[in-house]
Structure 1
């Protein structure tokens, strides 16, 4: 198992390097990061522009800029200079990573729990009123664009707060600027309160597709020969469902979940924008607006590592769900 993990990590390195090269080239030709400085009125001194070009390594060839970025990252953990000279890209990514990860991880857990439950119930009670109800809800959430659903939730939260004269739902930011209770428990409650609406928004969109996939996978397993054999041997229905059918049916869902992590990160960008969170999504949008090449490279690297880690976890879970799978 350890050898397999090490092999996967080494295989992922060329993928990371190739993706950073592609993004670096596209970003470099997308616009001038000093355009705002050059368009000022009155214009800044020529030497100021030259100093900024030197600081951002714009006075060097593109291949040398990439090599300096890669060497600084590997040897010193330096993500390169930002367009905003007072910002450290590494520290900024670290602070924002926790904000986005808590949203994505909690959304994945909630979506998986509800997808497995509703998918199994729909498969066991195929073509019943329960199955049709879950199918309707699944297609309803599947048809909703993530940005539109997030806006609906935010508007509903604001309307409820105004109608009740309370602040039951937090609709702006990942935490409050001013806290009445700054203890550890108070900070935890404040962060949890701000996570309610964004998490629901991101989780239900993922749940819709995963529940349909789990239903189809469960139906296929329930009609397989080994499940019929287990029933013929006199095993209890609950034992057949949980130990024999569900474990096998979870394998395709594990694959789909790992593949959808990249889409979830994209959905998190939209969700953070709607609820005005200062996470990786907000940082990406600001970097694109400012043509901040090294900030975008840092975002890509962090996101790619998250996707690779989730896919590695999914591969390792295969051996847990199916004893026949072994990584030697």
Structure 2
């Protein structure tokens, strides 16, 4: 396995080297880097031209300029990059760090959301093959896959930013809007849960009534500007999380694991009151990470103590339930500070930029400033990726559940839950790992358009500025990140193959 990975790394390095030479040559021959200065009537025009020549090494042959860049870029292997200067004299290392931080934040969140949502929808579509839910997901997948990025981004800027900011100033929902929201949720839940016509109709009516009542109550109390989950909703959410993890593992057959999950919820209830003073305004993310680590340790200990002979499964259930409880508490505190953030920024979602420059506020207000600008570009990139993940997962899952070993598992009397989660899903995920690897790198390329529309100063803006100035420095810095991401993600895909299918290790 190690020899295979080293061989793949060597081949990838050769590909990166050849690609970098082609990219460098194409960039420097795409125009005249001194064109704007040649047309200038400034008195110090000659000095400006000479300064740019010195910054970009234009007095050297192209291959010497490339070797000079390659020499500095090769130092990245020892974490000491020297990518030179841009045409304006700016340090490209600093430019790359600032730009990569914005772009990787956007792309990473988009990939994670697309993987979770896309694979979930694909699995459900395969299980409910040729149902109304399957047809609906298929239609939406093809719709999202066909969406032009720039058009979807412009629509989101209009509806998700401009119109939302107008609405949040004095939020109110009409009865028709409430009914539409309830109808959408009712159709979704009834389709996912499935069953016969009677069961689906009952699920539709109950879900619609509950959602309509909840939205009506929220509208009456002004929840849109002063939101909160509250302890009752946190407990309900934690119990639903417990039910989810039990469904994935043992169901209700193992009473000890069920008790362990309920004890975890009770421990979370106690921790809610104990940590309340800390959560009012934490001093930083280190506190949140510390509380998360404590949650994992305590939840795992509960699972180990009550698990009996199934300690591993019990710890999985209790840790998952504990983390879900902690996430709900975190979201409750975050939502309680939404009103204060609106007072600081009455129009919360900007159409341009990744945050308010030099914004200062509480820990929760800084999260809102950091997060609300991510919503729209993240939605654009996520929707496009979800389409591919859902279709590939559906096809892979259908192929897997028709294999002989799946029929053997069913003939043994195993439940559908065990067959799908333990036998089918793991093998169906093997081809998906390749898509994940390439999707991360391709999203970096797609983010160029998205960042341009939303005014993010990320890798896309740096890449475009380098092309406009016929400056290979920023362009090659972008290539270094995108190409490096492709190599690293492919290596991770190879390792994931070996984890999902032990036969590959040999």
TM bucket by the smaller chain? over 0.9
Judge which range, 252-261 or 45-54, deviates more. Answer: 45-54
Task: Give 1:70-85 correspondences, 5 Å limit.
Answer: 70-75=70-75, 77-85=81-89
Q: Which residue of 2 aligns with 1:100?
A: 103
Pair 1:159–1:298, CA change in 2 (3 A): same
Tell me which of 122, 132, 138 is aligned to 2:141. Answer: 138
Aligned residues: 325
Task: Give 1:4-83 correspondences, 5 Å limit.
Answer: 4-42=4-42, 44-46=44-46, 48-75=48-75, 77-83=81-87
Q: CA deviation at 1:80?
A: 2.1
Q: Which residue of 2 aligns with 1:226?
A: 405
Tell me which of 353, 359, 374 is aligned to 1:179. Answer: 359
Cα distance in 1, alignment partners of residues 67 and 423 from structure 2: 52
Cα distance in 2, alignment partners of residues 184 and 38 from structure 1: 50
Segments of 4+ in structure 1 off by > 6 A?
Answer: none
Cα distance in 1, alignment partners of residues 51 and 448 from structure 2: 33
Cα distance in 1, alignment partners of residues 474 and 450 from structure 2: 20
Q: Which residue of 2 aligns with 1:208?
A: 387
Do the aligned residues in 2 keep the contact of 1:138 with 1:209 (CA within 8 Å)? Answer: yes
Do the aligned residues in 2 keep the contact of 1:262 with 1:307 (CA within 8 Å)? Answer: yes
Q: Which residue of 2 aligns with 1:290?
A: 469
Pair 1:195–1:234, CA change in 2 (3 A): same
Cα distance in 1, alignment partners of residues 55 and 157 from structure 2: 42
Residue 115 (str. 1) matches residue 294 (str. 2): no
List per-residue Cα deviations over 1:118-162 (Å, max 9, x = no partner): 111111111111111111211121121111111111111211212
Judge which range, 47-56 or 183-192, deviates more. Answer: 47-56
Q: CA deviation at 1:296?
A: 0.7
Q: CA deviation at 1:206?
A: 0.6
List per-residue Cα deviations over 1:261-312 (Å, max 9, x = no partner): 3321122111111111111011111111111111111111111001111111
Q: Which residue of 1 aligns with 2:272?
A: none
Structure 2, unpaired ranges of 5+: 170-345
- SS at the partner of 2:100? helix
Q: CA deviation at 1:79?
A: 0.7
Q: Which residue of 2 aligns with 1:153?
A: 156
* TM-score after normalising by structure 2: 0.61
Cα distance in 2, alignment partners of residues 279 and 112 from structure 1: 23
Residue 304 (str. 1) matches residue 480 (str. 2): no
Q: Which residue of 2 aligns with 1:251?
A: 430
Pair 1:124–1:39, CA change in 2 (3 A): same
Cα distance in 1, alignment partners of residues 150 and 467 from structure 2: 19
Judge which range, 55-64 or 116-125, deviates more. Answer: 55-64
Do the aligned residues in 1 keep the contact of 2:55 with 2:88 (CA within 8 Å)? Answer: no
Do the aligned residues in 1 keep the contact of 2:52 with 2:88 (CA within 8 Å)? Answer: no
Do the aligned residues in 2 keep the contact of 1:38 with 1:44 (CA within 8 Å)? Answer: no
Cα distance in 2, alignment partners of residues 51 and 167 from structure 1: 43
Tell me which of 251, 256, 273 is aligned to 2:452. Answer: 273
- SS at the partner of 1:94? helix
Cα distance in 1, alignment partners of residues 375 and 8 from structure 2: 35
The structure with more radius of gyration: 2
RMSD: 1.8
Q: CA deviation at 1:38?
A: 1.4
Q: CA deviation at 1:224?
A: 1.2
Q: CA deviation at 1:10?
A: 2.9
Q: CA deviation at 1:180?
A: 5.1
List per-residue Cα deviations over 1:19-67 (Å, max 9, x = no partner): 1100111111111112111110146454553443233211111111111
Q: CA deviation at 1:168?
A: 4.6
Do the aligned residues in 2 keep the contact of 1:122 with 1:134 (CA within 8 Å)? Answer: yes
